[in-house]
């Protein structure tokens, strides 16, 4: 963990309400970190519906492989997460470690290994000794409590400088239901997925296939629109669980994606994921500024997103923002290198509300002083209009600072 909290950290945290049917425990196992929690157990009192989205890496971690297998059945009784070691690129030892953890967790909560989900985050390539924490799971399952969401978010942090939580309560068939989410991530953050772990739980009674469809859609506008360093982790895991317990208060059981009662829930889920994704960016390693990149006028939405990501991932754009330099020429460069349809002489660029470039050259009213003043803000908005079509997209990133280099130059040692 970094010594100091990001200046972009939330100024306050929401109260995270309990969600019926899920309990939380954390523990200090000393896997890598000392003097902090590094193991999280989520226990579902009965079978929860499960959905998940995982890294697109060709070299996924052992827990990702494990989760993908179990997700086919769509049922969960417990989730075990450890920080400090990713259990990635650990070969046979990695599979033994996930098996041992799952066996301990299933004994602790009284279920099969097929109802356990696992995630690990931290160093890649070092064997994870499940024995360091598997013996704790029985006690954790007994002691788990419903109101420990912030503790849960803290236990899964690595280089994060603050815990990330979000919550929404909406009416679902006239009955209030809650969606709680936690996330971690700070580096190795790029879309598809952002490199991160996130666990979201609701009491709304929604069947696993419907949860999965809602999750697939919501991730497109949230975690898959943020990037810190263009690097994609081996361990990206986003899971959504439903305890279904709102049914006891009269909430309807929904099993079809077309059900109109899902509309408000889907929007609330989107807001939870969006909040968590932006908290991720705002805790980007070394971040001092958040950058929103909005592209309009592209040939298509997909083209707009590729251009926006080209800008957001450009080291030269990101260092210029760090230096509070309104170097819009580098935005032109990043649009040009995206490989997407663009016509230099139609481009317009804004920094905040200031149009700095228009029809392929510097705006006639350009004021270096005004633009430089804008760059001193904590939140920077770059808008590029391509001038060719109606495609648009927005992505979020952070600046690239010397602290990013410092954090990543000696993270492992």
- Report the residue from 7, 360, 365, 378 that binds its own copies according to the rule CB under 8 A: 360
- Report the residue from 241, 328, 351, 396 that binds its own copies according to the rule CB under 8 A: 328
DSSP 7: T
Give the whole-angstrom CA distance, residue 278 versus residue 282.
Answer: 6
Q: Extract the runs of DSSP E, i.e. beta strands, from 224-363.
A: 237-242, 290-298, 348-351, 354-358, 361-362
- Tell me if 285 is assigned to a ligand binding site: yes
Taking CB under 8 A as the criterion, which residues in 183-212 touch its own copies? 187-188, 190
User: According to the binding rule CB under 8 A, does residue 11 interact with its own copies?
Assistant: no
**Shortest CB 374 distance to its own copies, Å:** 14
- Tell me if 158 is assigned to a ligand binding site: yes
Taking phi over 0 as left and psi of -120 to 50 as alpha, with beta for the rest, 185 belongs to left
Residue with tokens 């990001």: 6
Q: Which is nearer to its own copies, 145 or 360 (CB)?
A: 360
**Shortest CB 186 distance to its own copies, Å:** 12
Q: How far is CA 78 from the centre of its chain?
A: 20
**Shortest CB 62 distance to its own copies, Å:** 10
What lies within 8 Å, CB to CB, of 2 at 6+ separation is 159, 161, 285, 407
User: According to the binding rule CB under 8 A, does residue 353 interact with its own copies?
Assistant: no
- Report the residue from 92, 258, 260, 353 that binds its own copies according to the rule CB under 8 A: 92
| DSSP-derived pairing of the beta strands 237-242 and 197-202 | parallel
Q: Are 236 and 184 in contact (CB under 8 A)?
A: no
Q: Which is nearer to its own copies, 17 or 127 (CB)?
A: 127
Distances (CA, A) of 150 to 16, 20, 30, 86: 8, 17, 20, 22
- Report the residue from 14, 17, 114, 127 that binds its own copies according to the rule CB under 8 A: 127
Stretch that binds its own copies, among 152-160, 198-206, 262-270, 340-348 (CB under 8 A): 340-348
DSSP 359: T
Cβ density class 252-267: b for 16+ within 10 Å, e for less = bebeebeeebbeebbe
- Report the residue from 15, 171, 302, 406 that binds its own copies according to the rule CB under 8 A: 406
Taking CB under 8 A as the criterion, which residues in 289-318 touch its own copies? 313-316
Q: Which is nearer to its own copies, 165 or 400 (CB)?
A: 400
User: According to the binding rule CB under 8 A, does residue 180 interact with its own copies?
Assistant: no
Taking CB under 8 A as the criterion, which residues in 96-125 touch its own copies? 123-125
The DSSP-derived string for 147-210 is S-HHHHHHHT-SS-SS-EEEEEEEEETTEEEEEEEEEE-SSS--SSS-S-EEEEEE-S-B-HHH
- Report the residue from 26, 82, 83, 90 that binds its own copies according to the rule CB under 8 A: 90
**Shortest CB 52 distance to its own copies, Å:** 18
Distances (CA, A) of 350 to 131, 280, 311, 384: 55, 25, 13, 6
What lies within 8 Å, CB to CB, of 325 at 6+ separation is 372, 375
- Tell me if 184 is assigned to a ligand binding site: yes
Q: Which is nearer to its own copies, 26 or 232 (CB)?
A: 232
**Shortest CB 114 distance to its own copies, Å:** 23
Taking CB under 8 A as the criterion, which residues in 56-85 touch its own copies? 56-60
Stretch that binds its own copies, among 21-29, 175-183, 207-215, 338-346 (CB under 8 A): 338-346
**Shortest CB 242 distance to its own copies, Å:** 31
User: According to the binding rule CB under 8 A, does residue 7 interact with its own copies?
Assistant: no
Q: Which is nearer to its own copies, 219 or 348 (CB)?
A: 348
237 counts as catalytic: no
The catalytic position among 195, 234, 243, 401 is 195
Give the whole-angstrom CA distance, residue 170 versus residue 132.
Answer: 40
User: According to the binding rule CB under 8 A, does residue 287 interact with its own copies?
Assistant: no
How many residues touch its own copies (CB under 8 A)? 73
Rg (CA), the chain: 22
Taking CB under 8 A as the criterion, which residues in 228-257 touch its own copies? 229-234
Helices (H), 364-412: 368-374, 402-409
Give the whole-angstrom CA distance, residue 405 versus residue 79.
Answer: 33
Binding site for substrate, by residue number, is 158, 184, 195, 285, 408, 413
**Active-site residue list:** 195
């Amino acid at each position: 963990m970094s010594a100091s909290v990001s200046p972009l950290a939330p100024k306050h945290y929401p109260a995270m309400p309990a969600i019926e049917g899920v309990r939380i425990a954390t523990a200090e196992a000393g896997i890598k970190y000392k003097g902090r929690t590094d193991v999280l157990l989520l226990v579902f009192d009965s079978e929860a519906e499960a959905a998940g989205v995982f890294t697109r890496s060709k070299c996924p971690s052992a827990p990702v492989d494990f989760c993908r297998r179990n997700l086919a059945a769509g049922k969960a009784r417990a989730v075990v997460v450890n920080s400090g070691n990713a259990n990635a690129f650990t070969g046979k030892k990695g599979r033994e470690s996930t098996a041992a953890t799952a066996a301990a967790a299933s004994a602790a909560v009284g279920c099969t290994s097929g109802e356990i989900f696992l995630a690990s985050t931290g160093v890649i390539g070092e064997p994870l000794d499940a024995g360091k924490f598997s013996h704790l799971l029985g006690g954790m399952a007994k002691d788990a409590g419903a109101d420990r969401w912030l503790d849960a978010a803290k236990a899964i942090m690595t280089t994060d400088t603050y815990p990330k939580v979000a919550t929404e309560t909406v009416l679902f068939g006239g009955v209030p239901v809650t969606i709680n989410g936690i996330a971690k991530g700070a580096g190795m953050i790029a879309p598809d997925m952002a490199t991160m772990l996130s666990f979201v739980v609701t009491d709304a009674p929604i069947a696993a296939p419907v949860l999965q469809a809602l999750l697939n859609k919501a991730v497109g506008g949230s975690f898959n629109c943020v990037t810190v360093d263009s690097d994609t982790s081996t361990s990206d895991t986003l899971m959504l669980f439903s305890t279904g317990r709102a049914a006891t208060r009269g909430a309807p059981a929904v099993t079809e994606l077309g059900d109109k009662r899902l509309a408000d829930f889907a929007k609330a889920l989107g807001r939870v994921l969006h909040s968590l994704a932006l908290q991720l960016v705002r805790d980007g390693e070394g971040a001092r500024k958040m950058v929103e990149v909005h592209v309009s006028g592209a040939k298509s939405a997909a083209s707009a997103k590729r251009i926006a990501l080209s800008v957001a991932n450009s080291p030269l754009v990101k260092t210029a923002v760090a230096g509070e330099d309104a170097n819009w020429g580098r935005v032109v460069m990043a649009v040009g290198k995206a490989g997407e349809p663009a016509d230099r002489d139609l481009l317009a660029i804004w920094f905040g509300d200031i149009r700095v470039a228009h029809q392929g050259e510097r705006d006639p009213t350009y004021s270096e002083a005004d633009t430089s003043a804008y760059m001193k803000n904590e939140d920077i908005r770059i808008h590029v209009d391509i001038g060719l079509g109606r495609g648009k997209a927005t992505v979020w990133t952070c600046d690239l600072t010397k602290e990013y280099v410092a954090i990543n130059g000696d993270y492992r040692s």
